[in-house]
Amino acid sequence: MINIDFSKLTDEQLDKITSDFKNLNKQIRNNMTVKDLKEFLNKLDDNYNDHELNVVISRPNAIGGTPKVGVKHIGIGFDFDNGTLMIETQTTLIEKPKKK
């Protein structure tokens, strides 16, 4: 166990620790949230406005650039998908069954 006397830390050090814990929490969580996406996009400058939006895919033994497919549409889920942001890709993605 590590014991830290937080009263001896500067505000800058406390901010860094808080930021590190938030980043660790994001890494542990399985899915990115809309809030995470908004925070990321807000950090980008206007030079990225015309960049294509893609989804990285797995393509074993691929050579060259990162394998990816374009995004066709982003919308809000409803009914069974309520509470989710849905991304539809230009190419249909099919989940590969897990090996037993």
CB 88 within 8 A of CB 77: no
Position 31: which residue type? Answer: N
Position 26: which residue type? Answer: K
Could you tell me the pTM of the whole model? Answer: 0.60
pLDDT at 75: 94
Q: What is the pLDDT of residues 34-83, one digit of tens each?
A: 888 888 888 888 888 898 999 999 888 889 999 999 999 999 999 999 98
